[in-house]
Amino acid sequence: MSSAAGAAVAPRTRRLSAFLTLTKPEITFNVVMTALVGFLVAARGSVHARLLLDTLLGTALVAGGASALNQWVERDLDAVMRRTIRRPLPAGRLTPHESLLFAVGLGAAGTAYLALAAGPLASALAAATALSYLLVYTPLKRTTSLSTVVGAVPGAIPPMIGWAAARGRLDAGAWVLFLILFFWQMPHFLALAALYRRDYARAGFQVLPVVDPDGASTARQTVLYTLALLLVSLTPPFLGMAGRLYFFGALALGLGFTVSGVRLALAPQSHPHASRLFRASLLYLPALCALMALG
């Protein structure tokens, strides 16, 4: 390849990378992973491979579109936060107009794809996830610390998308998965907000660690949410959703996660404890999902 051709490829590669970054791949991966678990548990023993792939693809498109639209909405706020200043819009790698078109197109395509391939219920749940995330949670972040609780609702819906695609309805098991994701998100995001308290304050986000200077309320709520998560995570075996391996694995994971929360509660302003709790949350979710998928 000539140097001129190489120079032409490099900008295109950087732009593709910027569009990919706009979809928040880590968050999109978590959404797809939990939708996968919901599908596998709901379809236990009779997995339709094509339907599964269609569900995951549609879910990924909707999740990526919602994340991209969130970055478009918050581009000015991202520009004042050290954690987000290198994102494509504040860094100038993409324009607001092209980012908006990309985000809306991705979300619309994913919603339509799910409706056609996975059914109207799965599509409606995906649309509800995106809309509540963008229209309710996103604006509330600058208004009230309760925004984290509100934001945990759309974040907990993805496994229900997988469940709805597999069964065409929502059963008790789908709501158990919803609660597991809901309670997991709270210590996860509280730990993250504690780590980046100054960044969030600079952007005007009223997350709990910002309005709770001594960290006492944040720590107490963290322990309560980890305990609630522990209890809810142990219910699947009693509903026939998982077996003994899952039960003892969930118990061990839940106790470890709770211990991390208690350590933060004992030292509410400890940056290392907040960091350990955040890392524990990142390990907890995929490990629990793997146990659930294995049954």
142 and 190: one domain?
no
Domain count, the chain: 2
Token couple for 132: 């509540």
Mean pLDDT confidence for 92-109: 96
Nearest CA-CA partner of 213 in 264, 266, 276, 268: 268
**What is the distance, to the nearest Å, from the Cα of residue 74 to the centroid of all Cα atoms in its chain?**
17
Nearest CA-CA partner of 77 in 205, 194, 193: 205
Q: Is residue 21 part of a domain?
A: yes
Residue 286 has pLDDT above 90, yes or no: yes
Q: Is residue 5 part of a domain?
A: no
Mean pLDDT confidence for 239-257: 95
Q: Is residue 4 part of a domain?
A: no
Residue 3 has pLDDT above 50, yes or no: no
95 and 239: one domain?
no
Mean pLDDT confidence for 58-86: 95
246 and 182: one domain?
yes
Assign 157 to helix, strand or coil. Answer: coil
Nearest CA-CA partner of 103 in 118, 88, 84, 114: 88
187 and 164: one domain?
no
119 and 197: one domain?
no
123 and 261: one domain?
no
Of the three residues 134, 168, 202, the one that is the final residue of a domain is 168
Q: Is residue 114 part of a domain?
A: yes
188 and 107: one domain?
no
Spatial CB neighbours of 204, under 8 Å, sequence gap ≥ 6: 77, 142
Beta-carbon neighbour count of residue 146 at 10 Å?
Answer: 12
CATH number at residue 148: 1.10.357.140
Spatial CB neighbours of 15, under 8 Å, sequence gap ≥ 6: 93, 94
Residue with tokens 């996968």: 36
pLDDT value of position 294: 85
Mean pLDDT confidence for 194-202: 89
pLDDT value of position 1: 43
Q: What is the DSSP letter of 199?
A: H
Residue 287 has pLDDT above 70, yes or no: yes
pLDDT value of position 12: 79
Residue 278 has pLDDT above 90, yes or no: yes
Of the three residues 145, 168, 191, the one that is the final residue of a domain is 168
Backbone torsions φ then ψ of 158, nearest 5 degrees: -50, -45
Q: What is the pLDDT of residues 115-171, one digit of tens each?
A: 999 999 999 999 999 999 999 999 999 999 999 999 999 999 999 999 999 999 999
CATH number at residue 223: 1.20.120
Spatial CB neighbours of 251, under 8 Å, sequence gap ≥ 6: 230, 234
Residue 214 has pLDDT above 90, yes or no: no
Spatial CB neighbours of 213, under 8 Å, sequence gap ≥ 6: none
146 and 259: one domain?
no
Q: Is residue 2 part of a domain?
A: no
pLDDT tier at 9, thresholds 50, 70, 90:
very low
pLDDT tier at 17, thresholds 50, 70, 90:
very high
76 and 137: one domain?
yes
210 and 260: one domain?
yes
Structural domain including 41 reads 12-168
Token couple for 140: 């509330």
pLDDT tier at 14, thresholds 50, 70, 90:
confident
